[in-house]
Amino acid sequence: MECEVFGHNDAKCPKKQKVQAEKKAAIWLLKKEEEANLKEGEKVIEEKQTEVAIVEEKNEEL
């Protein structure tokens, strides 16, 4: 896919690279916050819950 600027593609577009750099920075900050919480002893464990829906098929023959 090409960028709006002539000759750019997704891999070489400077706009895309800035967005990727910002995302990496946000992830790094999140990791730093998690480390800070662990150092303070405020370890919070979030339980992952999965929801399972069971659908029964009913075959009605007329």
pLDDT per residue as tens digits for the range 42-51: 555 554 455 5
pLDDT digits (tens, 9 = 90+) for 1-58: 556 666 666 666 666 555 555 555 555 555 555 555 555 555 555 544 555 555 566 6
pTM metric for this prediction: 0.16
Virtual CA dihedral for 29, 32, 34, 39, nearest 10 degrees? -160
Phi, psi of 9 (to 5 degrees): -120, 180
* Structure tokens, 9: 């593609």
